[in-house]
């Protein structure tokens, strides 16, 4: 009916959406007219399969930023964030170290293997049950180093402060950072302070960078995963994201749930001592477990099948997610690992995780398969199956 001429008051002045026509032309220019003739295992593709193949090609296309301005979606850790990083930052800074696109850069300096990373924190509210922006900023950077197999050593801390911010609050944040650093065995050795006019930032933003040393002879990476591997998480997912959401008071739910923010270096040490089968580890922050699994599935060109029943999730997190209409798999954690291990090492890895207090709730949540490549599938609790794609849009802005 869309093409039909409808006569109606108000119709006289009619425009068309130029951007949409442009997008259609652009996508069409990347179409392969001969796709219909491609054969899969000797069989001609069905119409639906042709569509799926077309989508797959589009997904593998080079990312391009379509927006004229930055929107909140660019910070959500989902598709728009990836597009921004790939199309803008990676293009501008391109080098082999950056191209690995891990949570940390791995550098060889004078014979030593170093891990180097940075992270900024804009969480709102600044204080929430279980932590505040300070311990989050230390733990986040410590964890980004540790998941690369490094022992975190030194951190920097940069503060952007808003005019009028209470000194007592800043003291409390600094104290938390000191405690978190001591627990993680790192020192904050350099820093920076800037103050901006009232209204130019929201209280305080913190940037931390960190250096660690990789002493073990291991190479971890999202691209090293193989069919037959197992997927584990180190505990219940989504606690941090839901805690921060509830702390904003927008949902009117009472709960005693707390953020899971914690330094994971020790837990990772226990795991790596117990098994050499670890392929990749990530801490499931912004974008949650689902985003990490999508990154891994793409980087290794494998399918990941997750069993929803097996994913440890607290009642509060399930409940709040249900209300918000989001999937706990996308909700941020700040002290949870997602680990892919060699299938044969599953039991050893699980036992090692569970032997540490931060890994008590560890569970095997899924397995790696070869087909359909690059997709994350979910066996739902209800007994059906569906895709778990990269997140689009941002249901929970400023969560870390």
How many residues line the site for other proteins (CB under 8 A)?
71
Query: 270, 310 in Cβ contact below 8 A?
Result: no
75 sits near other proteins (criterion: CB under 8 A): no
For the CB of residue 248, give the shortest distance to other proteins in the complex, in Å.
Answer: 11
Q: Is 175 in the site for other proteins (CB under 8 A)?
A: no
- Using the rule CB under 8 A, is 32 a contact of other proteins? no
List the Cα angle 110/156/194 in 5-degree steps.
140
**Residues 35, 38, 44, 55: which binds other proteins (CB under 8 A)?**
55
Task: Enumerate residues 296-335 that contact other proteins by CB under 8 A.
Answer: 303, 305, 315, 318-319, 322, 325
- Report the residue from 8, 60, 62, 198 that binds other proteins according to the rule CB under 8 A: 8
Site for other proteins contains 73 (CB under 8 A): yes
Q: Where are the alpha helices (DSSP H) in 248-389?
A: 265-274, 288-300, 315-324, 346-354
346 binds other proteins (CB under 8 A): no
Using the rule CB under 8 A, give the single segment among 92-100, 106-114, 236-244, 383-391 that binds other proteins: 383-391
- DSSP letter for 258, please: -
Which residue's CB is nearer to other proteins, number 204 or number 377? 377
Of 17-25, 111-119, 126-134, 156-164: span binding other proteins (CB under 8 A)? 17-25
What residues form DSSP beta bridges with 207? 120, 158
Distances, alpha carbon 385 to alpha carbons 226, 297, 359, 369, in Å: 22, 17, 28, 15
Please pick, from the candidates 35, 38, 67, 182, the single residue that binds other proteins as defined by CB under 8 A: 67
Query: Using an 8 Å Cβ cutoff, are 261 and 334 in contact?
Result: yes
Strands 337-341 and 230-233: antiparallel
Among 72-80, 215-223, 259-267, 335-343, the segment contacting other proteins (CB under 8 A): 72-80
Show the CA angle centred on residue 27, arms to residues 24 and 30, nearest 5°. 145
Q: Which of 371, 225, 392, 388 is nearest to 299 (CA)?
A: 225
- Residue 52 engages other proteins in binding (rule: CB under 8 A): yes
Residue 254 near other proteins by CB under 8 A: no
200 interacts with other proteins by CB under 8 A? no
- The correct pick among 173, 232, 377, 399 for binding other proteins (CB under 8 A) is 377
Cβ-based neighbours of 350, under 8 Å, separated by 6 or more: 232, 362, 363, 364
Least Å distance, CB 351 to other proteins, is 22
């Amino acid at each position: 009916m869309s093409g039909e001429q409808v006569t109606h008051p108000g119709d006289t002045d009619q425009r068309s959406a130029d951007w949409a026509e442009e997008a259609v032309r652009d996508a069409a220019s990347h179409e392969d007219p001969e796709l219909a003739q491609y054969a899969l295992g000797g069989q001609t593709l069905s119409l639906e399969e042709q569509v799926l193949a077309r989508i797959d090609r589009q997904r593998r296309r080079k990312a391009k930023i379509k927006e004229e301005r930055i929107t909140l979606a660019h910070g959500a850790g989902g598709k728009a964030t990836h597009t921004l990083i790939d199309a803008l930052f990676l293009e501008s800074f391109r080098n082999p170290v950056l191209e690995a696109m891990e949570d940390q850069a791995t550098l060889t300096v004078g014979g030593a293997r170093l891990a180097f990373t940075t992270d900024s924190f804009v969480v709102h509210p600044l204080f929430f049950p279980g932590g505040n922006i300070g311990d989050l900023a230390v733990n986040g950077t410590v964890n980004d180093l540790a998941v690369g197999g490094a022992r975190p050593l030194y951190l920097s801390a940069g503060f952007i402060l808003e005019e009028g911010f209470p000194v007592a609050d800043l003291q409390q944040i600094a104290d938390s950072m000191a405690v978190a650093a001591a627990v993680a065995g790192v020192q904050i050795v350099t820093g920076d302070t800037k103050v901006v006019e009232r209204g130019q930032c929201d209280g305080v933003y913190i940037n931390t960078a960190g250096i660690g040393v990789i002493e073990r002879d291991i190479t971890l990476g999202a691209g090293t995963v193989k069919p037959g591997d197992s997927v584990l998480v180190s505990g219940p997912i989504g606690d941090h994201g839901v805690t921060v959401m509830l702390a904003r008071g927008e949902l009117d739910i009472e709960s005693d749930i707390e953020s899971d923010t914690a330094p994971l270096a020790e837990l990772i040490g226990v795991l790596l001592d117990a098994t050499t089968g670890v392929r990749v580890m990530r801490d499931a922050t912004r974008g949650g477990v689902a985003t990490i699994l999508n990154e891994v599935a793409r980087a290794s060109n494998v399918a990941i099948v997750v069993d929803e029943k097996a994913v440890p999730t607290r009642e509060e997190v399930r409940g709040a997610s249900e209300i918000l209409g989001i999937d706990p798999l996308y909700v941020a954690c700040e002290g949870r690992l997602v680990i892919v291990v060699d299938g044969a090492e599953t039991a050893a890895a699980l036992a090692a995780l569970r032997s540490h207090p931060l890994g008590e709730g560890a569970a095997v949540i899924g397995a790696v398969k070869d087909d359909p490549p690059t997709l994350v599938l979910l066996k739902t609790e209800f007994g059906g199956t569906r895709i778990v794609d990269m997140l689009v849009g941002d249901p929970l802005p400023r969560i870390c």
